[in-house]
Structure 1
Amino acid sequence: MSALADRTDDRWDDGLIARSRPVPDEPDGEDGDEGDDALVRALSGAGSDGGRTPPPPLSPEAQALRSRLEALRQLVALSRTRLDGQTLAEAGRVLDEAAARRGLSAQHTVVAIAGATGSGKSTLFNALAGVQISETGLRRPTTAAPIACSWSDGAAGLLDRLEIPGRLRRRPRETPEAEALRGLVLVDLPDLDSALGVHRDHVDRVLALVDAVVWVVDPEKYADAVLHERYLRPLAGHAEVTFVVLNQVDRLPGEAADLVLDDLRRLLDEDGIALGEHDEPGATVLGLSALTGEGVGELRELLGQFTQERGAATRRISADVDRAAGRMRPLYVAAGHPGAEISEQARAEFEDRLAEAVGASAAGLAAERAWRRNAGKACGTPWLRLWRWYENRRSPRTLSGLAALAAIGGRGAAQAAEPQSPAEAEVTARQRVEQAVRAVADAAATGLPDPWAQAVRETAVRGGEQLPEMLDEVALTLGPAAAPPGTKPPRPAWWPAAVLAQAAMTLLQIYGGLWLVGQIVGVLPPHLLPPVLLMASGIVGGPLVEWACSLAARGPARRYGQDAERRLRQAAAGCGRARVLEPVAAELLRYREVREQYAAVARLSTSRA
């Protein structure tokens, strides 16, 4: 734009007004990489003389805008990978327009005059300029393109941004009243309800770029639906940079003008536009007659004060940020306040499901049974061990177990005890894992806005794709099948004593039996009581030792099984954390960062956001 501003043919074309002095070239804008500080200083009037004087400190309003723009930039950057470009288009446009306003003249305030056909906006434009600039008449539409009038030099860059050519740029009449409007750039727009689409396009384009708007209505069309529904209602948040004037009050007899103004205020209130009454910020509403001059001086005075404040650009951009934040609210704030983190209950349930899928509980029970079975082999009586060996040789354990179950519970229990095929077991385990992933994703996404809830679910599903295979490796590494054939659980320190005691009981039985046989065959003198007592003590003592060992083995066996289950559960939980929980937690952390940035943009507390 600065290149266009430097071109000779783009200097002010004053038409019928004679040049009173040459128009100097407008200084180039500053470099576009200085960030929001330069932007807000430009909007607040800082450094407008090219840096020859130190810039004044930023106003609180400008500082707040700087923080909000930075937060909006961070918000867009964090959201690009989660939201589509069309959704973020308005936020990007606000940032682009705010950056475009940097480097342009901060000493000028651009105000557009907009209105419907026959409202008299061009007449008001000429009355403020003090000279016939914009064509007026009965022919409709009268204004075909935006026409600009500037009360001071240096606004060429602003008008280049509005795409107003030099031939449509004018100067006001040099009067004492004109000095009060120094810094004002007034733009007369085509009719907003023109039958020609190109005229409406001009209106929409310029309204999106100016610092403030003067809406001109007449007594007949002040309630026009096009004006209220298409323009005033969507721009309700821009009340502080809005003027609404009821023109042609000279046509209203008596108190009719006050009644129409009251009804106009009512309509504006229904549109959601705050009215600047009782020293409160909001839109300015007044009545005037551009034809007779009634009220024009009051409007000129209000525009002069408004221009001298030099805060219109800041307020306009702040209002644009407000509107963008309001439209983006469903993307960052849900109806219910989310925790934005995985609850401990959801984590525990997820780990429990993974442990179930990997068979941690069954592995623990198997380890406990193996420990107790090993204890029974070591501490049992030799005769019982011999009988068990004989039973195992006679029929497979599985068949004998099924027969026992059938005898106890019938055919159904035997069928229930049949092991699953590997394919069926794999399908069941995969289904359990998928169910666990869906459950923890739903729990983490509860209360999140739809885009972020979907992102959390997709992250969990992606992480869970390889989780069944990882759990299979864990089961093969740490499960019962991982132990080499013949491997036995570790034995406690008291087992050798138990083995010796069982051996002593066996020796007593053998010694007593041999003694008794010797007496029967006549080799030893007959005395039945000692050998019988020895045999009885061995016969009774062996089961007693075995029973005592089984009692003593319960605690170590249970702990051994619990250790095996815990190792398998921890390994499965580690896989689940690495593949699902940590990626989901990272996604939730990103959402919390985004929500904090949105709270800064929308000027909300984090708890409300």
Structure 2
Amino acid sequence: MRRRRRPLDDRITALAQAADLAEGRVDPVLVGRAREVVARAGARRGLSLRHTVAAVAGATGSGKSSLVNALAGAELVEVGVTRPTTAKAQAVVWGPEGSGPLLDWLDVPLRHTVGASVADAEEQSGLILLDLPDHDSIMLSHRLEVDRLVAVVDLLIWVLDPQKYADAAVHERYLRPLARHRDVVIVVLNQIDRLPGPAVSRCLAHLRRLLAADGLTDVPVLGVSARSGEGMAELQALLNERVTRRTAWAARLAADAATAALALRGHAPPAGAASGAAGVPRARVGALVRALEQAAAVPVVVNAVAKAHRHRSATATGWPVTRWLRRLRPDPLRRLGLTRSPAGRTSLPPATSVQVAAVDAAVRELGAAAADGVPEPWATAVRHAARSREGELADALDRMVAVSAETRAPRWWRAAGALQWLLAGAMLLGALWLLGLFVLDWLRLPPPPTPTAGELPWPTVLLLGGAVLGVLVALLCRLASWFGGWRRARKAARALRAGVERIAGELVVEPIEAELRRYRRFLEQVEVAAAR
């Protein structure tokens, strides 16, 4: 079953989007050409769609003007014999009315109208023939006029002659670039009356082989003689058929869109083909995360979190008699400069030059791996995207460490601290009690009755019990703080690694993936614009 062609509007829209996506990635000349096609399509669709503009192009002496006069049935344009005569394109118009704006847009001021007495208005109504200057003229203005109109007309009639039909200039400069325009190209071998009968078929066969080499397979190739009229009926019938369909303008724009889209794509694979734009390699991301962890001093911070937890636990739950000695030691996190400032930053020392170099190498390797298989210049854009926000890494890591290294005191520290003060108070009460008894005994005063707990007096029980239980609680809290420090270190390590992975994703991986998504979208739009 034959595939349904995509609407012209979809193809032009896809070409415009492909040009936007290619901005800054593809040669600006190619992007500009694609946008010119989009602009030309919008202008052409806004003009007369009842007319088909067919340009008659050829070399000096090929008989273009004679062919135009023969088709018009009147001597409307001047014919040159030995030198270029046509300096400015001339238009021969078969009604209906309304061709003026279209010819103004084409900038063709010289116009001839063919009346009904000369041609069959019903069959050729809407045809506009343009007699172009010679493409091999020694006058630069003539060649520029040909190039300008060949790029915008609806239908192209290339007139060749038996002597120069194989000229490389016309094939390489004009016919070969029209490989995707076979639906709007007609090739005419004029002046066949100058050839002996058998030579005509051989020349036509050779010309068809040359055109096939140019990519113009199945293009209509007609042998005619404007002077004798041989083959003119077939050419006239072919023109009438193309004019009647009123689709040459759309076919031309579709071919232009396809050519511009494929030029934008260059050597990139089609959107449906396997390519290196599959995504960012996870292994390279892991290497980047490890490099960033070292640059952010994550192992040092994790160790400091464990030590700080134990230090703060001893300060909050230690035996009050010796607790003040712990306060003389610096907090491990503060010793590393991990103190929060109002701006949410730390005073952690910056990464060393070795660590910075390792991060830079990991970023570059990640970009290179993601660009592997992606054609230039998109591969360069992918590698540049990997480094586009590299300057933000140090600041983002610093802020992340400042948040992730924060620790909160467990609730049981407050209870254990209160218990320690209670035991210290009991110990102090027992000591004061015993001191009072000692003073009374030293003054030889009668001592008051002292309650006992079994064999031991209560002052002694309070003093010794408070001291022993305080030390025991401190030891138990120390043991709990070691386990708690290990848990806090693991939690901080997970939080820091998650933070590093988030930063790597936001500042390195996401720009790469955005560029790869842009590349895939570009290929999709090119495929739509170039679809046949």
TM range (shorter): 0.7 to 0.9
Once the two structures are superposed, what CA deviation does each residue of 1:236-277 show, in whole Å capped at 9, x if it has no partner? 2111111111111111113111001000001001111121xx
Question: 1:338·1:448 contact (CA, 8 Å) conserved in 2?
Answer: yes
* 1:100 Cα deviation from its structure 2 partner: 1.3
1:465 equivalent in structure 2: 391
* 1:365 Cα deviation from its structure 2 partner: 4.5
Amino acid paired to 1:162: L
User: Partners in 2 of 1:220 and 1:87 — Cα distance?
Assistant: 36
Once the two structures are superposed, what CA deviation does each residue of 1:14-38 show, in whole Å capped at 9, x if it has no partner? xxxxxxxxxxxxxxxxxxxxxxxxx
Question: 1:360·1:566 contact (CA, 8 Å) conserved in 2?
Answer: no
* 1:574 Cα deviation from its structure 2 partner: 2.8
1:148 aligns with 2:91: yes
* 1:172 Cα deviation from its structure 2 partner: 5.5
1:313 equivalent in structure 2: 249
Once the two structures are superposed, what CA deviation does each residue of 1:51-107 show, in whole Å capped at 9, x if it has no partner? xxxxxxxxx65x621111111222233444655643311111101111111232211
Question: 2:293·2:500 contact (CA, 8 Å) conserved in 1?
Answer: yes
User: Partners in 2 of 1:314 and 1:97 — Cα distance?
Assistant: 12
User: Partners in 1 of 2:74 and 2:116 — Cα distance?
Assistant: 6
Larger deviation: 332-341 or 443-452? 332-341
1:130 corresponds, among 73, 77, 100, to 73
Give runs of aligned pairs for residues 215-254 of structure 1, distance below 5 A: 215-254=158-197
Once the two structures are superposed, what CA deviation does each residue of 1:90-129 show, in whole Å capped at 9, x if it has no partner? 1111011111112322111111111111111111111111
User: Partners in 2 of 1:68 and 1:118 — Cα distance?
Assistant: 39
1:160 corresponds, among 93, 99, 104, to 104
Question: 2:72·2:118 contact (CA, 8 Å) conserved in 1?
Answer: no
Alpha carbons of structure 1 residues 172 and 205: separation in structure 2 relative to 1, 3 Å: farther
2:286 equivalent in structure 1: 348
User: Partners in 1 of 2:89 and 2:205 — Cα distance?
Assistant: 31
Once the two structures are superposed, what CA deviation does each residue of 1:458-491 show, in whole Å capped at 9, x if it has no partner? 3432322021133234345544xx67xxx99998
* 1:326 Cα deviation from its structure 2 partner: 1.3
2:515 equivalent in structure 1: 587
Once the two structures are superposed, what CA deviation does each residue of 1:551-583 show, in whole Å capped at 9, x if it has no partner? 999976654432221122222233333333334
Question: 2:55·2:150 contact (CA, 8 Å) conserved in 1?
Answer: yes
Once the two structures are superposed, what CA deviation does each residue of 1:181-231 show, in whole Å capped at 9, x if it has no partner? 222111111111111111111111111121111111111111011110110
1:442 aligns with 2:380: no
* 1:161 Cα deviation from its structure 2 partner: 1.8
User: Partners in 1 of 2:351 and 2:166 — Cα distance?
Assistant: 73
1:286 equivalent in structure 2: 222
1:561 aligns with 2:489: yes
1:357 aligns with 2:273: no
Alpha carbons of structure 1 residues 575 and 179: separation in structure 2 relative to 1, 3 Å: closer
Alpha carbons of structure 1 residues 151 and 477: separation in structure 2 relative to 1, 3 Å: closer
Q: Which runs of 5+ in 1 are unaligned?
A: 1-59, 276-282, 379-384, 394-421, 500-547, 605-609
Question: 2:276·2:370 contact (CA, 8 Å) conserved in 1?
Answer: no
Amino acid paired to 2:360: E
Question: 1:340·1:592 contact (CA, 8 Å) conserved in 2?
Answer: no
Partner of 1:87, secondary structure, is helix
- The TM-score, its normalising length taken from structure 2, stands at 0.74
User: Partners in 2 of 1:264 and 1:592 — Cα distance?
Assistant: 41
Question: Identity, % of aligned pairs?
Answer: 41
* 1:366 Cα deviation from its structure 2 partner: 5.0
Amino acid paired to 1:164: V
Give runs of aligned pairs for residues 5-20 of structure 1, distance below 5 A: none
Give runs of aligned pairs for residues 92-491 of structure 1, distance below 5 A: 92-154=35-97, 155-166=99-110, 168-171=111-114, 174-175=117-118, 177=120, 179-275=122-218, 283-330=219-266, 333=269, 337-367=275-305, 425-479=351-405
Alpha carbons of structure 1 residues 77 and 151: separation in structure 2 relative to 1, 3 Å: same
Alpha carbons of structure 1 residues 158 and 371: separation in structure 2 relative to 1, 3 Å: closer
Partner of 1:582, secondary structure, is helix
* 1:595 Cα deviation from its structure 2 partner: 3.0
Alpha carbons of structure 1 residues 332 and 602: separation in structure 2 relative to 1, 3 Å: same
Partner of 1:466, secondary structure, is helix
Larger deviation: 552-561 or 343-352? 552-561
Give runs of aligned pairs for residues 527-538 of structure 1, distance below 5 A: none
Question: 2:26·2:264 contact (CA, 8 Å) conserved in 1?
Answer: no
Question: 2:291·2:355 contact (CA, 8 Å) conserved in 1?
Answer: no
Amino acid paired to 1:260: C
The root-mean-square deviation of aligned C-alpha atoms, in Å, is: 4.2
Question: 2:18·2:261 contact (CA, 8 Å) conserved in 1?
Answer: no
Alpha carbons of structure 1 residues 477 and 143: separation in structure 2 relative to 1, 3 Å: closer
Alpha carbons of structure 1 residues 68 and 424: separation in structure 2 relative to 1, 3 Å: closer
The number of equivalent residue pairs is: 458
* 1:423 Cα deviation from its structure 2 partner: 7.1
Larger deviation: 326-335 or 303-312? 326-335
* 1:285 Cα deviation from its structure 2 partner: 0.5
Question: 1:108·1:183 contact (CA, 8 Å) conserved in 2?
Answer: yes
User: Partners in 2 of 1:460 and 1:573 — Cα distance?
Assistant: 15
Question: 2:277·2:373 contact (CA, 8 Å) conserved in 1?
Answer: yes
Give the number of the structure with larger relative contact order, counting CA–CA contacts within 8 Å between residues 6 or more apart: 2
1:90 equivalent in structure 2: 33
Amino acid paired to 1:133: L
Larger deviation: 317-326 or 154-163? 154-163
Q: Which runs of 5+ in 2 are unaligned?
A: 317-321, 330-347, 421-475
- The TM-score, its normalising length taken from structure 1, stands at 0.65
Amino acid paired to 1:437: V
User: Partners in 2 of 1:461 and 1:219 — Cα distance?
Assistant: 60
User: Partners in 2 of 1:176 and 1:472 — Cα distance?
Assistant: 84
Alpha carbons of structure 1 residues 190 and 87: separation in structure 2 relative to 1, 3 Å: closer
* 1:143 Cα deviation from its structure 2 partner: 1.9
Alpha carbons of structure 1 residues 424 and 259: separation in structure 2 relative to 1, 3 Å: same
1:47 equivalent in structure 2: none
